[in-house]
Structure 1
Amino acid sequence: MTFNVSVLATSSLGDRSYLATDGQVAVVVDPQRDIDRILYLAGAAGVRITHVVETHIHNDYVSGGLDLARVTGAHYLVAAAEQVEFERLPVTDGDTLTVSDTMRLRATATPGHTFHHLSYILDHANDGDWQPVGVFTGGSLLFGTTGRTDLLGQQHTHELAHHQHTSARRLADLLPDGAEVWPTHGFGSFCSASQTDAPESTIGREKEVNPVLRLAADDFIAETLSGLDAYPAYYAHTGATNRNGPAPVHLTPVARIDAAELRRRVRAGEWVVDLRHRRAYAAAHLVGTVSLGLDGAMSTWLGWLISWGTPVTLLAETAAQIAEAQRELVRIGIDRPAGQATGEAERWAADREQLRKLPLADFAALAAARAGRLPTGLPTPDVVLDVRMANEWTAGHIAGAVHLPLPELPRRLADLPTGAVWVHCGSGYRATAAGSLLANAGRDVVVIDDRFAAAEAAGITLDGTEATRTPHDAAPTGRRS
C-alpha cells in the first residue's frame, strides 16, 4: 500500500489541512470549511475518508470537519473535554485509534494554544512494526515558533504559555528527531505567535531552531508574550460557530446588481468591496467602496474591519474572482455576500461623478515632498500615517509619523490631525485599504504604494530598526501586494 501525507494549504489564512492515507483509507486533519477541496484530493487518490480529526476548536477559521464527517460517514474526532453542540467521537490523551492495518493515530494532550488542544502522532506499520512518522501539531509546535496563547482571554495567557512550553517539550521527548512536524498554523496566520521560518520541518530541526525547545520556561514565556500583537476581531465569532457546529457551506453565485442598486447600498452605509488590484482601484473606482484586493489577505482584513453582520457586496473584474472571494469569506463565517457586480469600474457608476481616483506615490516622492520638492499634482503631506501593526511600528517607523493600525482606523478617523494624509504600510496593500476609507470620510489622501524596506534608502528618516519582513500585507503565499 502507498503511504502518503498530502498538504492542503489555505494560504490566505496561513493555515494547512492534511490528508494522510495508506492508499485505501484516509485521515483528514483540521479541514477548512470548503470541503470540496479535500473531497477532490481524496477522490484523485482513490481513497475513502474514515476519520476526520480536529486538533482544537479553531478561532481563525470555520471548520469543515463536521460537514466532512457527515458527507463521508467518517468518525469525527474532537477532544472529549470540549463543550460542543454536536455528536463527535470524544478523544482524550493517550487514546490510540487504529485507522487501518498500517496506519494509526495516538492522541497526545498538548495544551497551550487552547486548554484542550490535542496533537496526533501518526504511526505507520512495516511488517507489523509500528513506527512514528510524524505528528499533527495544530496550534502547538509550529515551524520555528508556537501557536499564540492569548486567544482565550488575557487572564489565561500566562498559564497557557506555560502549558505551551511543557507541551512542545513533551512532543520532543516522545518522538525521534526524524519525525515530521505537521502544524495547522504558522504560515502567516494570526494564530501563530510569530511568523513561520520554513516550508517543512522535523522534531530534530525544531530542537535546533525553535525557542520553545531552546529556552527555559520563564524565558520562553517572556519572549512569547512580549511578541503578541492584536488578532482579528472575527475570531470571537468563528470560535463560537465551531462550538455550535457550522452549517454546510453554499458557494453558488450570488445575485448580480446594477449601478443604481450599488449607489443605494453605498449611501446606506453598507460595505461595497472592490476586489481588484490596488493600482486598478487607484486608477478608477466607485465612490464609497473599499479596496481589498484578492492579491492580499482580503478575508482577514474585511472580517477584522467590518461590524459583524454588515451586508457585503463584491466588485471584481470577473465572475471567477467573485467565486474566489466567496470561498475566502465562507472560511471565516461570512456566508453569503449581499450581491456582486463584475466588469470595469465605469459599469458600476450611475454617472461619471460616482467615479474617483486615488493618488499613488512612493517613498522617494514622500522624501522629496518633505524636503520642499513636492511632486506635481500631489498635496503637501500634512500627516504621514502608518497603518501597520504595533510590532511593525516598534521595529522601526518614519520619524514624525502618526501610528494607527488599519483595524482601528474605521472607529478612529476623527483622531487623525487635519490636512492631507499620506498613508503607508509595509507594501501598499493595507495603505490602499486605509486610503479608500480615508477618502470615503472626505479626507485628502495619497497612498504610498511602496515597500517599507525601501524607505530609508529613499531618503526617509526612521526611528528604530525596521525588520524587512512585513508579513501581514500580502497573503502568506507571497502573492504580490
Structure 2
Amino acid sequence: MDVTSFRTPGLGDQSHLLTHEGAGVLVDPQRDVGRFLDAAAERDVELRFVLETHLHNDYLSGAAEAARRTGAELVLPAAAAPAYRHTPAFHLEDLDGGAGLTVRPVHTPGHTPEHTSYVVLVDGEPVAVFSGGSLLVATAGRPDLLGPERARSLARLQHLSLRRLAALPPATELYPTHGAGSFCTASDAGRHTSTIGAELKDNPLLGVADAEEFADRLLADPMPIPAFYRHMGPANTLGVPPMPSVAVPELAEPAPGSHVVDLRPRSSQARGRLPGSYGIELDDDFGSWAGWLLPYGEPVTLVAEPGQDTAEAVTQLARIGFDDVRGVVRLPAGAGAPAYELAGLRDFAERLRRPGAQLLDVRMPGEREQVRVEGAVERFLPELFTEGVPDALDPARPVLVACATGRRASIAAAELTRRGYRPVVLTGAGIAELAETLRVSPAP
C-alpha cells in the first residue's frame, strides 16, 4: 500500500491517493481533479472509490467529477444525503476494494454531524485511517463552523470521535484532510501526517478525559471563519459543476460590472494601480483572501504584470466557487495611480517614533495576544472591509500598517487607498520584529 498526499497550502488542506496492487482510492479531492487523475494514470491504477469524509466548509469538492470521469464508486457519509447519486457510507459497513483491500467507514461526528473517517485494512489488518476533519496532527477539527448554537454539542461528539480513532493500533498511519494553515482546525496543526501512536503521545487533546473540559478547550479561542465558508457546504450538498477553464481573455480595461483584483507583487501595486481595485498579490492563499473579502461569486477582472501567469489565480478562485473571471488586464509596474509606500523595518520604526504617528495592526485577535505594539489601532483585515476604517485613524496623516509579514498589510493598504487614506506598509517583517526593534532601540 502507498499513499500520495496532495497539499493545497493556501487552504491548509490535503487530498490523498491510496494505491494497492493496481487499485486506487481517492480521498477528499478538491475541484481541480486533473492533478489527482493524472497521478492515478501515472501509477497505472484503476480508481475503485472516491471517498468524502464530510461536506466540506472550505472548498468545493471534486469528488463527483472524479467519480464521473473514472467510473469509480462515489462514497459519502450516510448522513450527508447530498442531492446526487452516491454510495452512503454506514458505520462499520465495509467496502471491498479487492486484492485484500478493505475500506471501513467509521462515524466520527464533531467537525460536522455526518463526518465519517475511513480505516484502510490490508488482509484484515488496519494500516491507515483517513480522518478528514476529526483527529488531526496535534489537534482536532473545529466544531463551530456550523454556528455557535451547535458548537458545544459537536465538540462533545468530537471528544468521542477522537477516542474512537485513538483505539486503532498505534502503528496505524493517520492521514487528515485539514492541517497547518486551515481555518478548519481548532488550533495550529503540526505535521501533515502522523500515526495513531504518535498522536497518543503528542496530541494534547487526547489527554483530556472529560467531554466538557474537552469542549471548553476546543471552543476557548476560536479562529475567525472566512466569509466564503458559508457558501461551501450548500454547494457541496447540491452538486458542484466541473472545473471551469483556467484560460481567460486579455482585456484592455476591466470588464464592466466586475470587481478588479490586482494580483501583481506588492512592489508593483504600491507604485501604481487601477483606482478602486482590490490588491491581493498572488500567493498560495490568494483565493482564500479573495473569497473572504470580495462579494461571493460575483464577476472578477484580474490585473497582472505583463507575462505573469494567471492560471494559478483562476484555479484558486474556482476552488471556492468564483467561476466568473471575465479576463485579465496587463499593467506594468508604475502604471496607474500611486497607491501606497513600502517601508523596511528600520525606516518603519523611525516613522512610528515621529510625533503624531499612527499604526494600524491588521492581524487576527489571537496573534495580538502574543505580542502587541503600544498605541496601535487594531482591526482584523476582513473587518476593515466590513466595518470600515477605525475612527481613531486620521486620513490627513499617513497610516502605518503592519501584520506578521507584510502580506495582509499590503491588502489593507489597497483598501485604505480606496477610502482616501495614505498608507505606509511594513514589508519583510511584522509586528513581532517591530516590537523588538522599538524595545532595543528607544528613541533618542
TM band (smaller chain): over 0.9
Give the deviation of 1:278 after TM superposition: 1.6
Residue 423 of structure 2: aligned partner = 445
User: CA contact under 8 A between 2:176 and 2:193: conserved in structure 1?
Assistant: no
- Aligned to 2:251, the other structure's residue is in SS state coil
Question: Map of 1:353-364 to 2, 5 A cutoff?
Answer: 354-364=336-346
- Does the 8 Å contact 1:367/1:460 carry over to 2? no
Residues 302-344 of structure 1: CA deviation (Å, up to 9, x unaligned): 1011112332111223566211111111111111312212352
One-letter code aligned to 1:392:
E
Residue among 329, 353, 364 paired with 1:389: 364
- Counterpart residue type for residue 402 of structure 1: V
Q: Any conservation in 2 of the 1:22–1:102 contact (CA below 8 Å)?
A: no
CA distance in 2, matches of 1:47, 1:55: 22
Residue pair 2:21, 2:99 contacting (<8 A) in 1 also = no
Does 1:413 find its partner at 2:383? no
User: CA offset at residue 402 of structure 1?
Assistant: 1.2
Report how far residue 102 of structure 1 moved. Answer: 2.4
On the 8 A contact 2:352/2:359 being kept in 1, the answer is: no
- Over 3 Å counting, the alpha-carbon distance change for 1:105 and 1:319 in structure 2 is farther
- CA deviation vs aligned residue, 1:111-169 (integer Å, no higher than 9, x gap): 000011000001112xxxx2111100000000000011001111110111111111011
Q: Which amino acid aligns with 2:201?
A: E
How many angstroms does 1:358 deviate by? 1.8
Partner of 1:279: 267
Note if contact 1:296-1:429 (Cα within 8 Å) is conserved in structure 2: no
Amino acid at match of 1:324: E
**2:154 alignment counterpart:** 160
* 8 Å contact kept, 1:277–1:295: no
In structure 2, the residue matched to 1:300 is 288
Is residue 2:403 matched to residue 1:403? no
Measure, in 2, the Cα distance between the counterparts of 1:220 and 1:364.
44
Matches of 1:220 and 1:88 in 2, distance apart?
34
Q: CA offset at residue 362 of structure 1? A: 3.5
CA distance in 1, matches of 2:307, 2:184: 31
Q: After superposing the two structures, state which structure 1 stretch, 435-444 or 317-326, moved more.
A: 317-326
Q: Distance in 1 between matches of 2:322 and 2:250?
A: 18
Match of 1:365 among 343, 347, 354: 347
- Asked if the contact 1:92–1:109 (Cα under 8 Å) also holds between the matched residues in 2, the reply is yes
Q: Is this contact kept in 2: 1:79–1:91, CA < 8 A?
A: yes
Between the aligned partners of 1:343 and 1:47, the Cα distance in structure 2 is: 45
Q: Is 1:334 paired with 2:322?
A: yes
Q: Displacement, 1:435?
A: 0.2
* 1:470 alignment counterpart: none
Contact kept, 8 Å, 2:297 with 2:321, in 1: the verdict is no
CA–CA distance in structure 2, aligned partners of residues 323 and 306 of structure 1: 19
Contact 1:363 1:460 in 2 (8 A): no
Q: Secondary structure at the match of 1:57?
A: coil
1:105 paired with 2:103, answer yes
Residue 339 of structure 2 contacts residue 417 of structure 2 at CA under 8 Å; is this kept in 1?
no
Q: In structure 2, do the counterparts of structure 1 residues 292 and 226 end up closer, same or farther at CA, with 3 Å as the change threshold?
A: same
5+ long unaligned stretches in structure 2: none
Deviation per CA, 1:192-229: give whole Å up to 9, x if none: 11121124311111111112211233332212111212
Report what 2:28 is aligned to: 30
Aligned residue for 1:397, secondary structure, equals coil
Provide the TM-score with structure 1 as the length reference. Answer: 0.87
Structure 1: give runs of 5+ residues left out of the alignment: 375-379, 462-481
Report deviation, 1:276: 1.9
Choose which of 55, 60, 63 in structure 1 pairs with 2:61. 63
Aligned residue number for residue 115 of structure 2: 117
Match of 1:177 among 170, 182, 196: 170
Residues 1:148 and 2:136 are matched in the alignment: no
Report how many residues are paired. Answer: 435
Identity across the alignment (%)? 39
Kindly state the Cα deviation for residue 61 of structure 1 after the two structures are TM-superposed: 0.3
Q: Name the amino acid aligned to 2:163.
A: R
**Separation in 2 of the partners of 1:341 and 1:48?**
42
Q: C-alpha separation between the residues in 1 aligned to 2:9 and 2:407?
A: 16
Matches within 5 A, 1:250-329: 250-258=244-252, 261-262=253-254, 265=256, 270-317=258-305, 321-329=309-317
Distance 1:460 1:387, change over 3 A: farther
